[in-house]
Amino acid sequence: MKDSLLDQGQRRRLVERLREKGIRDERVLQAFMEVPRHYFVPGFLHAHAYGEDALPIACGQTISQPFTVAMQMQLLELQPKQKILEIGTGSGFQAALLKSMGAYVYTIERQADLYHEAEQRFQQLKLPIPIRHGDGYAGWPELAPFDRILLTCGAAEPPQKLLAQLKTGGIMVAPIGTGEQTMTRIVRNAENDFQSETFGSCRFVPMLEKETGFNKK
Ligand code: SAH
């Protein structure tokens, strides 16, 4: 995969726009500079990879708007070497951003075809990101607890099994609601003490129950 000077220039301008729109975490901006978003969108959308919009990927899913992704990343307050679980791998772009921030990233995707594509993409890009094909509602109990949990699909309510897999002091960032969601940050202060804050409305594809089978291989 090629990363041309044109791509790099467009990426720099995207980062400037994110900064103007209020993204302040330099490490998040740096990650956007380092990870070529055009590797993660379908080839025919290459020219749009550094625009403002959400873009379609396979299986009727979307790679979210850069600003929304950056906002989520900023709310996570991710530190290097922290262990983070992402629900909704999709293209793998957000997982790659988290990886470039120095975290140990684990990601779950329910759609078999997307899972398969993302796994191959991580291999091609030499990104050591363990990926599981499964239902994110169950989390990844064998690897719990996590410092951070990120939902990139909208859940009606904070999934209980995921909250249980959060470390004390850990943070979950998730779009919560049906139809339109509210960006929500939940901090686990103690075993049974969860504190929730909201950060405006957003629109993600819904978090659905159970994984799908493979259509092709
Ligand atoms: N983070 C992605 C965007 C993903 S879009 C990226 O950077 O490209 C949301 C994804 O969540 C979709 O791929 C969808 O299939 C997946 N998803 C929905 N419900 C899920 C569930 N219960 N478990 C795991 N993944 C789920």
Average pLDDT of the segment spanning 9-37:
97
pLDDT at position 60: 87
Res. 95: pLDDT tops 60: yes
> Is 63's C-beta closer than 6 angstroms to any atom of ligand 1?
yes
Mean pLDDT is lowest, of 19-28, 82-91, 204-213, for 204-213
pLDDT at position 181: 96
> Is 88's C-beta closer than 6 angstroms to any atom of ligand 1?
yes
Cα gap 73→22, rounded to integer Å? 13
**Report field, pTM of the whole predicted structure over 0.75:** yes
pLDDT at position 199: 96
DSSP state letters, 77-105:
T--TT-EEEEE--TTSHHHHHHHHTT-EE
pLDDT at position 217: 44
Please say if 64 is a catalytic residue.
yes
The CA-atom distances, in angstroms, between 73 and each of 63, 103, 148 are 14, 12, 11
User: b vs e for 69-83, b when ≥16 Cβ sit within 10 Å of the residue's Cβ?
Assistant: bbbbbbbbebeeebb
pLDDT per residue as tens digits for the range 108-131: 999 999 999 999 999 999 999 999
User: Is residue 163 a contact partner of residue 62, using CB atoms and an 8 Å limit?
Assistant: no
> Is 153's C-beta closer than 6 angstroms to any atom of ligand 1?
yes
Give the pLDDT band of residue 210 (cuts 50, 70, 90). confident
Mean pLDDT, the chain, as a whole number? Answer: 95
pLDDT per residue as tens digits for the range 56-86: 998 888 999 999 999 999 999 999 999 999 9
pLDDT at position 1: 79
For the CA of 96, the closest atom of ligand 1 is 7
Res. 53: pLDDT tops 80: yes
Res. 196: pLDDT tops 90: yes
For the CA of 59, the closest atom of ligand 1 is 15
Res. 170: pLDDT tops 90: yes
Average pLDDT of the segment spanning 132-136:
97
> Is 114's C-beta closer than 6 angstroms to any atom of ligand 1?
yes
CA-closest residue to ligand 1 atom 13:
90
Q: How far is the CA of 5 from the centre of ligand 1 (A)?
A: 31
